[in-house]
Structure formats: structure tokens, C-alpha cells
């Protein structure tokens, strides 16, 4: 279906922006992607994806070739080109604080402001504390809308082209119409459309991520109870998940959530609520965070127990470095937190990951890395499974038993066939599950 072509810019070409830019070109718009990182822009312009995201390289190449997608490092060029500007820069956690660091969002808005074309619309997509849009609107002579993004890494292209819903926070009917035109193919496909004010749109995003984080910590809290009582959290999760009001998604107990979004978003939300004098309203997010971090400690202590109470002089194989499979993202990865904690207790730690090794090595040069899962396990006293890549499910515990020093396994993601490992003579521990 032909769309009414718009001239769009997408500012900030990380996971969110690069995928958004390519997907907006894919549905027919003229798109200019912008970033201050020259190397990243050069890579994208040559059709090289600067990160691992299934399906993204194909969409990128196709739209570079058909001429609808271009890249630049010039914000002034972007301002001169675009009718709609999507702001997709990062809002990381501030060092030494829980607050979101808004300097990149502020810089983009200030950089665009003097060069904007008349009638241009600036649309924030970054995750921000509620109130940001109205604060920024005072600094710019254009309408400022908020349109949060809900894509998951690993499914970013799919989630962008076929979102569960579109949420737009606008202050005028004309801005809503501009966004309806941009997203016309999604609307034609029946995607639910929620039009609201910017504050609600900003909050929808943090509320959604807070709910998801809470769901994971809920099941991980149940895992703690299961561990003390000999019950099995995986069965418990399946059983409660049959109730459609609860649902079976996001109830995988394990080493908890990480990544560039959920951990920092719940912290920034608590910080923002405190600023508003509403600390109590989201105090439970403190528990959500605490439960999540305790699971990392638990994975460490199960591994320690399996090597006889001390890591000193032991070799540990860590399967997985990324915060989840099908991504090369290691930001706040539980796997690397566990690997580093074990190393700090004196073990030699060898990490394998199908996609995340380069990123991990750059940030954690003190860990050892192996190009193969089986190789990582050679001579290990314990194998700790921390990111549920599908290739780990295909490992043969019989073959692996021949190369390890001790047949001991911690499944910190509850994703392996424990019966098969036990049958091959392995001593197995899993989070929230009985010992045998
Ligand atoms: C998350 C949200 O799912 C997206 O909707 C949102 O757009 C995105 O954050 C964002 O704010 O940008 P993402 O961080 O890509 O997406 O990853 P998720 O699939 O949500 O997983 C987050 C973490 O939770 C991972 O570490 C994963 O291993 C963990 N997780 C997830 C569990 O431990 N158990 C589960 O049942 C599900």
C-alpha cells in the first residue's frame, strides 16, 4: 500500500533509532538518520549494522539501495530536511544517581530549534521522566509530541513494523494527523491507536516497563520461596499462567532482568516520583530492583556450593554474556555481573557468547573469552548457564562431560533439559527448582 510520503528524520541511531529509521523508509517515507557518532553513521550509510539485530541488515540495505534512507551527522541538515523529527537518543542512568540523564535529548532539541522548517513537528521517542515534553516545549518554537517505543531487542524490526499499539501524546489535532499519516500502514493493518497528552504518553512507557519488571521480580520472588520449600517455580509459573488474567508471558524465573531499559527505567521512575513527592506510590519498585539483584547473588552462591564452598583456584565456564539471547547488548547484563562476581572470588572465568564477546571484552577485559561453548567448558569445575541462547539447549551433556573437570551445572535461566543433564551424570542446580 502506497503511503503519503513524509520527510522524516530520526535523530540518534542506536538500537531504537536505527531500526526506526530503516522501518520508516521500509513503509515508504524519505528518511534521514542522524547521529553525532561519525563511525556509526559511516557504517550505516554503507549498509553495515553497528549492532546485532536479526532482520535489520536486510531492511537497512534495501532502503539504502532504493534511496529512501540516508544518514548524516549534521543536525542542521536534518532540520532543513525534515517535516517530522523523531528524537531517539539515549536517556541513560546518571552516574551516581538513579535519575535519567537527559543531556542528549536536551541537546537535540536545542540543536534543532534554530534551524527548523515552519510547521515542523518534533516527536520524542526516548524514554523520559514524565514532564520532559512540556519542559522541552518551552525551548522550541514548534509542537513537541511524545510517541514512546515498545520494541524489544531481538525483535526490533518486527515490533516496529507490527507494533502491539501506537501511543501518541500530542497537544493539537494537526500533530495527531501528521503522526496518523506517518503510521498509515500500521493503522490500516488495525494497530490500536492511543492518542493522548504528552504526559500520559511519557508515563505509558515507564508504566509498561515497570509492570514488566514487576512481573519478572514477582516470579523470581516465588523462586526464592520455592527454593526454601522444595517447590518448582517453572511448574508454578505455568500453572498460574493458564489464568488469562495473569498470562503466561514474562514469567520466566531465572537470573532476572538486565539490559539498557528495564533496570534504569524503574530507577528513573522512582527518582521522578520522589521529585513529585510521590515516593510511596512506586516504593514497590525498590523491592522489584532488590529481588532482581538478589537473583544474581543466588546464581553465584549455587555455583560456589557446587565447587565445594570456595572459588579459589577453580575454573568456571560461563555460558552467555548478553542480557538476553538474540542480542549483542551487554548493558547491565546479569550474566556478566555473575561472571565478574565469581572472578572477584578468585576463580578463573571463561565466558562464551554467540554474539556478545566483542562488547563484553571491551568492558570486562579481565574475564577470559572462548569462541566456542564446548571450548569454554574445557577443564571447568562448574558450568553456569546465564543467557538462554538456543545453541545452549543443543549442547550434548554426555559429550560435555568428557571435557569438564567436574560435572556440575547451574541453570540460571531454567532453559536446559535438566533431566538429560542429570542422566549424563551432572550435579545440577537451578534457580527456583528442587535439587533433583
Ligand atoms: C524491554 C521491553 O520488553 C520493551 O517493550 C521495551 O520497549 C524495551 O525494554 C525498552 O524500553 O526499550 P528489552 O530490554 O529488549 O525490552 O528486553 P526484554 O525482552 O523485555 O527482556 C528484558 C530482560 O528481562 C532480559 O534480561 C530478560 O532475560 C529478562 N526476562 C524477560 C526474564 O528474566 N524473564 C522473563 O520472563 C522475561
Ligand 1 pocket member 216 (CB < 6 A): yes
Q: What is the distance between the alpha carbons of residues 150 and 103, in angstroms, rounded to a whole number?
A: 22
Ligand 1 pocket member 127 (CB < 6 A): yes
**Residue 5: per-residue pLDDT:** 85
Q: What is the distance between the alpha carbons of residues 349 and 367, in angstroms, rounded to a whole number?
A: 6
Tens-digit pLDDT profile for residues 116-150: 999 999 999 999 999 999 999 999 999 999 999 99
Catalytic residue among 23, 88, 226, 261: 261
Percent pLDDT > 90 in the chain is 98
Tens-digit pLDDT profile for residues 291-324: 999 999 999 999 999 999 999 999 999 999 999 9
Q: Mean pLDDT of all residues in the chain?
A: 97
Q: How far is CA 171 from the centre of its chain?
A: 30
User: With bands split at pLDDT 50, 70 and 90, how would you rate the model's confidence at 240?
Assistant: very high
User: With bands split at pLDDT 50, 70 and 90, how would you rate the model's confidence at 436?
Assistant: confident
Beta-bridge partner residues of 316: 349, 382
Q: What is the distance between the alpha carbons of residues 9 and 3, in angstroms, rounded to a whole number?
A: 17
pLDDT at 112 over 70: yes
To the question of whether residue 331 is assigned a binding role by annotation, the answer is yes
- ipTM greater than 0.95, yes or no? yes
How far, in Å, is the centroid of ligand 1 from the Cα of 325?
11
Q: What is the distance between the alpha carbons of residues 183 and 325, in angstroms, rounded to a whole number?
A: 29
**Residue 171: per-residue pLDDT:** 97
**Residue 1: per-residue pLDDT:** 47
Ligand 1 pocket member 152 (CB < 6 A): yes
Ligand 1 pocket member 252 (CB < 6 A): yes
The preferred substitution site among 259, 260, 432 for testing ligand 1, maximizing ligand atoms within 8 Å of CB, is: 259
Tens-digit pLDDT profile for residues 331-341: 999 999 999 99
By CB neighbour count within 10 A (0-12 exposed, 13-18 middle, 19+ buried), where does 134 fall?
Answer: middle
Ligand 1 pocket member 262 (CB < 6 A): yes
Tens-digit pLDDT profile for residues 339-350: 999 999 999 999
The preferred substitution site among 90, 209, 335, 385 for testing ligand 1, maximizing ligand atoms within 8 Å of CB, is: 209
Q: What is the distance between the alpha carbons of residues 124 and 136, in angstroms, rounded to a whole number?
A: 10
Contact 272, 130 (CB under 8 A): yes
Task: Give the atom of ligand 1 at the shortest distance from the alpha carbon of 205.
Answer: 11
User: With bands split at pLDDT 50, 70 and 90, how would you rate the model's confidence at 21?
Assistant: very high
To the question of whether residue 250 is assigned a binding role by annotation, the answer is yes
pLDDT at 2 over 70: no
Concerning whether 261 is annotated as a catalytic residue, the answer is yes
330 contacts: CB under 8 Å, gap ≥ 6: 321, 322, 323, 336, 356, 359, 360, 363
Ligand 1 pocket member 257 (CB < 6 A): yes
**Residue 145: per-residue pLDDT:** 98
Contact 271, 98 (CB under 8 A): yes
Average pLDDT value for residue range 162-177: 98
Amino acid at each position: 500500500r502506497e503511503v503519503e510520503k513524509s520527510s522524516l528524520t530520526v535523530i540518534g541511531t542506536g538500537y531504537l533509532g536505527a531500526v526506526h529509521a530503516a522501518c520508516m523508509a521500509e513503509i515508504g517515507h524519505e528518511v534521514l538518520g542522524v547521529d553525532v557518532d561519525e563511525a556509526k553513521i559511516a557504517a550505516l550509510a554503507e549498509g553495515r549494522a553497528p549492532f546485532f539485530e536479526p532482520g535489520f541488515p536486510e531492511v537497512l540495505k534495501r532502503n539504502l539501495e532504493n534511496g529512501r534512507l540516508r544518514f548524516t551527522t549534521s543536525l542542521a541538515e536534518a532540520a532543513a530536511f525534515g517535516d517530522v523529527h523523531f528524537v531517539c537518543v539515549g536517556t541513560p542512568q546518571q552516574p551516581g544517581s538513579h535519575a535519567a540523564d537527559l543531556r542528549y535529548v536536551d541537546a537535540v532539541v536545542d540543536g534543532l530549534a534554530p534551524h527548523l522548517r515552519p510547521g515542523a513537528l518534533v516527536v520524542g521517542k526516548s524514554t523520559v521522566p514524565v514532564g520532559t515534553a512540556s519542559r522541552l516545549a518551552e525551548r522550541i518554537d514548534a509542537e513537541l509530541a511524545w510517541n514512546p517505543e515498545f520494541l524489544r531487542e531481538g525483535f526490533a524490526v518486527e515490533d516496529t513494523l507490527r507494533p502491539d499499539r501506537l501511543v501518541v501524546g500530542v497537544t493539537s489535532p494537526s500533530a495527531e494527523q501528521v503522526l496518523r499519516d506517518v503510521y498509515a500502514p500500521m493503522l490500516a493493518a488495525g494497530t490500536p491507536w492511543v492518542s493522548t497528552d504528552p504526559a500520559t504518553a511519557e508515563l505509558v512507557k515507564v508504566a509498561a516497563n515497570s509492570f514488566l519488571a514487576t512481573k519478572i521480580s514477582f516470579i523470581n520472588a516465588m523462586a526464592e520461596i520455592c527454593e526454601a520449600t522444595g517447590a518448582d517455580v517453572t511448574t508454578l509459573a505455568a500453572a498460574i499462567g493458564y489464568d488469562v488474567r495473569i498470562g503466561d508471558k514474562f514469567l520466566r524465573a531465572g537470573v532476572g532482568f538486565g539490559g539498557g531499559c528495564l533496570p534504569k527505567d524503574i530507577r528513573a521512575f522512582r527518582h521522578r516520583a520522589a521529585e513529585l513527592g510521590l515516593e510511596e506510590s512506586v516504593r514497590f519498585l525498590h523491592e522489584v530492583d532488590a529481588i532482581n539483584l538478589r537473583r544474581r547473588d543466588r546464581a553465584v552462591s549455587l555455583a560456589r556450593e557446587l565447587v565445594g564452598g570456595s572459588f579459589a583456584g577453580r575454573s568456571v565456564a560461563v555460558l552467555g554474556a548478553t542480557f538476553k539471547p538474540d542480542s549483542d547488548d551487554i548493558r547491565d547484563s546479569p550474566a556478566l555481573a555473575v561472571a565478574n562476581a565469581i572472578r572477584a572470588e578468585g576463580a578463573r572465568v571463561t565466558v562464551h557468547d554467540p554474539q556478545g564477546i566483542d562488547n563484553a571484552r571491551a568492558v570486562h577485559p579481565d574475564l577470559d573469552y572462548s569462541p566456542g561453548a564446548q571450548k569454554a567448558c574445557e577443564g571447568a569445575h562448574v558450568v553456569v548457564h546465564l543467557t538462554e541462547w538456543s545453541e545452549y539447549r543443543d549442547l550434548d551433556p554426555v559429550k560435555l562431560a568428557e571435557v569438564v573437570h567436574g560435572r556440575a551445572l547451574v541453570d540460571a535461566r531454567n532453559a536446559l533439559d535438566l533431566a538429560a543433564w542429570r542422566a549424563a551424570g551432572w550435579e545440577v542446580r537451578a534457580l527456583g527448582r528442587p535439587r533433583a
